[in-house]
């Protein structure tokens, strides 16, 4: 999300203390795998993606799925974030935060000056192995399967060292008007959300109260997201039915999908749409 947008939001929405809503014991919903319907029929064979605009096609977060043909098992989410504005790389090696820089020249990529924090963790996948493997990367390729993109990082002999998957939740980044809640049209144009998948934060307005919360991304499932730790101010504005319905729908949301360029949907664990959102802009 644009940093100016985030700054404008923080200036407009102040953090609020926990309220009765936040302290209320939340109902736990059992997660189940949901197949998100794709707009296109795709082959079961990974298809190569031609990279013509790397700054657009490679930017953002990539979750580490496998390394040297073995599944990655780490305590923290292992991922890298490619920042093409400064050619910096950020992320986590499964235990410690990492950062450094990268160089890209055609199909060649190298990671340089990598440093990490120094927490101690006990992972099945060694963080030292992750860092050593990154230092061996020389080339890359991108493929697509079932609508998901995969980044293969290879050594100078073309052997795949790492496979990473893009969590396509960038589609959720931005400012949204709440269009529908549980198939009920929302008439209040002040009911809006600001979602930042990178910082994993949620801010917004219910039409009466300001809300804040956090985002949890389930990297084991495609398009999986949950909104947690919802906190709200305690203003009373007459009929609170729409506000309560929206907050409950956010708690039930487990997946997202793109409807079109200006609209997204949030789904529960059974694949039922609980919220429809329409893209908008922040107003002062």
In the chain, what percentage of residues exceed pLDDT 90?
53
Give the confidence band of 107 by pLDDT, cuts at 50, 70, 90: very high
Smallest CA-to-CA distance from 146 within 40, 245, 281, 273 is with 40
- What does each C-alpha distance from 80 to 13, 144, 246, 274 come to in angstroms? 30, 18, 33, 31
Q: In the predicted model, is pLDDT for residue 106 greater than 50?
A: yes
Task: Tell me yes or no: is domain 3-37+170-280 CATH 3.40.50.1370.
Answer: no
Give the confidence band of 265 by pLDDT, cuts at 50, 70, 90: very high
Contact 155, 229 (CB under 8 A): no
CA distance 93 to 133: 11
Give the confidence band of 171 by pLDDT, cuts at 50, 70, 90: confident
Give the model confidence (pLDDT) of 200-209 as tens digits.
899 999 988 9
- Point out the least confidently predicted range of 65-69, 137-141, 254-258: 254-258
Average pLDDT over residues 261-266: 91
Question: According to the 3-state scheme, what is the secondary structure of 196-250?
Answer: ECCCCEEEEEECCCEEEEEEEECCCCCCEEEEEEEEECCCCCCCCHHHHHHHHHH
Residues of the chain with CATH 2.40.128.270: 3-37+170-280, 58-166
Q: In the predicted model, is pLDDT for residue 225 greater than 70?
A: yes
Contact 124, 74 (CB under 8 A): yes
The DSSP H or E segment spanning 192 is strand 191-196
For the domain spanning 58-166, the CATH number is 2.40.128.270
Give the model confidence (pLDDT) of 114-163 as tens digits.
999 998 888 878 888 999 999 999 999 999 887 788 999 999 999 999 99
Give the confidence band of 198 by pLDDT, cuts at 50, 70, 90: confident
Higher pLDDT pick, 271 / 199 = 271
Q: In the predicted model, is pLDDT for residue 283 greater than 70?
A: no
Smallest CA-to-CA distance from 258 within 166, 147, 145 is with 147
- Chain centre to alpha carbon of residue 153: 21
Q: What is the pLDDT of residue 29?
A: 39
Q: In the predicted model, is pLDDT for residue 2 greater than 70?
A: no
Q: What is the pLDDT of residue 42?
A: 42
**Average pLDDT in the chain:** 83
Q: What is the pLDDT of residue 3?
A: 52
In the chain, what percentage of residues exceed pLDDT 70?
83
- What does each C-alpha distance from 64 to 72, 73, 130, 139, 276 come to in angstroms? 7, 10, 10, 16, 30
Average pLDDT over residues 51-79: 90
Give the model confidence (pLDDT) of 6-63 as tens digits.
555 555 544 444 444 444 434 443 444 444 444 444 457 889 999 999 998 998 889 9
């Amino acid at each position: 999300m644009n940093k100016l947008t985030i700054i404008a939001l923080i200036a407009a929405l102040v953090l609020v203390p926990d309220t009765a809503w936040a302290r209320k014991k939340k109902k736990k919903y059992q997660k189940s795998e949901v197949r998100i319907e794709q707009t296109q029929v795709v082959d079961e064979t990974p298809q190569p993606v031609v990279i013509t605009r790397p700054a657009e096609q490679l930017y953002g977060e990539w979750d580490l799925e496998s390394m040297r043909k073995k599944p990655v098992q780490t305590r923290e989410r292992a991922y890298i974030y490619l920042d093409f504005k400064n050619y910096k790389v950020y992320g986590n090696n499964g235990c410690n935060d990492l950062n450094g820089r990268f160089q890209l020249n055609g199909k060649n990529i190298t990671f340089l000056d990598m440093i990490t924090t120094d927490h101690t963790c006990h992972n099945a996948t060694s963080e030292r192995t992750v860092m050593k493997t990154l230092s061996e990367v020389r080339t890359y390729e991108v493929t697509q399967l079932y609508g998901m993109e995969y980044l293969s990082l290879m050594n100078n002999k073309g052997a795949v060292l790492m496979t990473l998957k893009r969590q396509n939740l960038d589609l959720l980044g931005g400012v949204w008007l709440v269009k529908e809640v549980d198939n009920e049209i929302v008439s209040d144009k002040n009911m809006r959300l600001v979602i930042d998948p990178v910082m994993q934060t949620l801010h917004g307005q219910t039409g009466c109260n300001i809300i804040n919360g956090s985002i949890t991304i389930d990297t084991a499932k495609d398009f999986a997201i949950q909104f947690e730790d919802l906190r709200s101010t305690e203003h009373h504005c007459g009929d609170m039915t729409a506000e309560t319905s929206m907050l409950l729908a956010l708690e039930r949301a487990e997946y997202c999908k793109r409807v079109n360029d200006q609209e997204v949907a949030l789904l529960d664990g059974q694949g039922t749409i609980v919220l429809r959102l329409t893209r908008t802009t922040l107003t002062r």
